[in-house]
Chains A and B, each alone.
Chain A
Amino acid sequence: MRFLPTDEQSDFARTLRSLLGSARVPATVRAWADGDAGPGRALWSRLAGTGLFALAVPEAYEGAGLLLPELSLGFVELGRAGVPGPVVESAAVSVLLAELADEALAKRFLPGLALGETSATLTLPGGSPYALDADAATYCFAVSAAGELRLAGGTGGAGGTGGAGARGATGATGEPLRSTDPARRLSLPPADGGELLAAGPGVARAAEVAGRWARLLTAAQCLGVGEALLARTVEYAKQRTQFGTPIGSFQAVKHRLADTLLALEFARPLVWAAALSPAPGEVAAAKLSAGEACYRAAMTALQLHGAVGYTEELDLSLWLRRARPLRDAWGTPSACRAEVLRSLTPPRR
């Protein structure tokens, strides 16, 4: 047993990290929040070039096979860089269609998703009613409580080529729903539901698997967001001087940062283990721990940066505002704890 990423897996994560490190992601996030999806789509194309989106698609449809460990390591990097857009949702749609095993649907959608030429958002029964970035995504899928899979809107065009998209996709009142993270653009799927693609128990089963992948990939993103927040705060604490000494030399500051690292370091192996074996309890444990560690990192970053951390000007805000919604997306802490309890086998006697 060797519970560490292989050299190939680490290389893949490193490649993504260096690509994203030079991609001016903060400017992309700000543009995305302002309704300009252009830089975000360009970034999407570059990410596609690494094969990232193919990791959620079977080989028969231009994919690399469903490789959750590799995908999870990749999503840590997306979180670290703060990449905007429906990355989790696109991967979840790929998995949903792969699980559904409907040849026509697979052929219609999967190759484009694998190659990053298209993007998708998704709502599932029991999850958030709000679709993420529907205005920028190529497709907006929704599964209803009755087990119907519908293609609600095909608007954004994502990938590298998309047009203007349906900017301003609307909430029930006709207005877009603003997220506390402006780079997460929310809307309610249209009430009429759109084109019926499939229905029945197979849809519900596929949706359950897709929901678990979404939960785990969000956990991986949380890990990356938390690590980025910690790294920025450590650098700040080394440089910011008060009382004639760097604030990072004070125990009150050190211990808070140590606790932040601790939470992230103990969440990481839970994410890896769930990626290897995505049983509901394992995935819930990973999401619970990574989500809480990420949010705690955000609160530490905010406090230790002082007043400047409370501004939107500082790029730190891009991660600060991401932490809370990601902690809750695809499984709130309460929902995850309930899942952990459900997954317990009766104790050994």
Chain B
Amino acid sequence: MELTHTADVEAFRAEARGWLRAHVPARPLPSLETAEGFAAHREWEAVLHADRWSVVSWPEEYGGRGADIVKWLVFEEEYWAAGAPGRVSQNGISLLAPTLFDHASAQQRARVLPSMASGEVIWAQAWSEPESGSDLASLRSRAVRTDGGWLLSGQKTWSSRAAFADRAFGIFRTDPDAPRPHQGLTYLMFDLRAPGVTVRPIGRLDGKPAFAELFLDRVFVPDEDVIGEPGQGWRIAMSTTGNERGLTLRSPGRFLAAADRLVGLWHEHGDPADTALGDRVADAVVGARAYELFTWVNAARFAAGETIGAESSLNKVFWSQYDIALHETALDLLGADAELADGAWAEPWVFSLAGPIYAGTNEIQRDIIAERLLGLPKGRR
């Protein structure tokens, strides 16, 4: 049992830190959930990519550095500690790319990954539908066979980044007669600007168009944009939800940096006599450390060849609850200024509120924890 990095990892950390110090914008970029901010964040992706820092864990041929999980975690620590911008490419990098590495053809990887790494193409996810949220497998959007490809029809919703993104990925029903809802689904990539696509941005709780509804009317998708075999979409989509995604969706670096900022705020604004608030600051510090260490345990298991399955549900419930508690503590430290929408903590607080809902609600995650980790019997949802 050890908690020290090799010299090689520390050298990598030093290189990342040096580069970030020289390149991170001095002022925060505008919110990435606005047209102006989205463009600014896309440019930042290109800056990262130019020196091969946008996708450090990918193989070099696609613009990465072949970093293992340890180096990726160290990079993330440095990235967020440096106050670097949020990643507008996050959905593509953490959701679509792992699927491509596991299930796509070499030709598809060569076509999709480089432009994802550079930010030239920004991806949105298209999972949920108006009648299919937690019960995703009940989805009804269709892909119908046509000459050389498929025609997509139906409606997707809560599609993060779709207001400004270029392309999207999701699963569609290709065999409505399949005996079970999880069967007959196919994983597809499509162009958000293709004929037949209508994007209606949806204002988040703070009014910013952080997600969108997608109306699809006979949108043509060529065969080359089908990932894996038709009919295998559910298995393909799920195979990467519990895997490394559990480790990579939200890195500990984010929360370590946020806890650091909170401690700064507490030193500045905190009343030392207010022990109730001080206790919550302590909890935020301990929580970030716990999340970091929990991740190192799973990284070690992952490196040893174990599969990280339902454990990623523990991970998701923890960070999403933690993130809200941390931001609420910050707002409480700010007093009357907490209400100011342009304050530094306001947008991150609003963002944190979505955590228990997206990427599988925490209720669904707790069902998974209870059934797969504790072996409790399945019941009615």
Contact = CB atoms under 8 A, between A and B. Distances in A.
A273 interface: yes
B286 A261 contact: no
Contact of A347 (B2, B263, B278, B279): B263
B285 interface: yes
Contact of A4 (B275, B285, B304, B377): B304
Interface stretch (A28-36, A156-164, A245-253): A245-253
A232 to B, nearest CB: 12
A4 B370 contact: no
Contacts of A267: 290
A261 B1 contact: no
Interface residues of A, number: 51
Nearest to B6: A1
A285 B70 contact: no
Contacts of B304: 2, 4
Contact of A3 (B285, B291, B296, B376): B296
B285 A340 contact: yes
B378 A262 contact: no
A234 B375 contact: yes
B294 interface: yes
A248 B282 contact: no
A254 interface: yes
B168 interface: no
Interface string A42-79: 00000000000000000000000000010000000000
Looking at chain B's contact residues, the main secondary structure is helix
B297 A4 contact: yes
A288 B286 contact: yes
A251 B134 CA distance: 15
Contacts of A269: 290, 293-294, 296-297
A2 B300 contact: yes
A3 B363 contact: no
B107 interface: no
A257 interface: yes
A312 interface: no
A257 B375 CA distance: 11
A337 interface: yes
Given A1-B70, A249-B378, A262 B317 contact: yes
Contact of B376 (A5, A257, A268, A288): A257
A6 B278 CA distance: 37
Given A248-B376, A266-B290, A341-B282, A5 B366 contact: no
A24 interface: no
Given A254-B371, A258-B370, A337-B283, A1 B290 contact: no
Nearest to B74: A1
A344 to B, nearest CB: 6
Interface in A320-337: 334, 337
Interface string A259-295: 1011001111110110111000010010011000000
Interface string B44-75: 00000000000000000000000000100000
Given A3-B300, A9-B1, A258-B374, 4 more contacts: A3-B1, A4-B297, A254-B376, A266-B287
Which 9 pairs between the two chains have the least Cβ-Cβ distance?
Answer: A249-B379, A269-B293, A254-B370, A347-B264, A258-B369, A337-B282, A258-B366, A248-B376, A3-B296
6 contacts: A2-B300, A3-B1, A248-B376, A255-B370, A266-B318, A289-B290
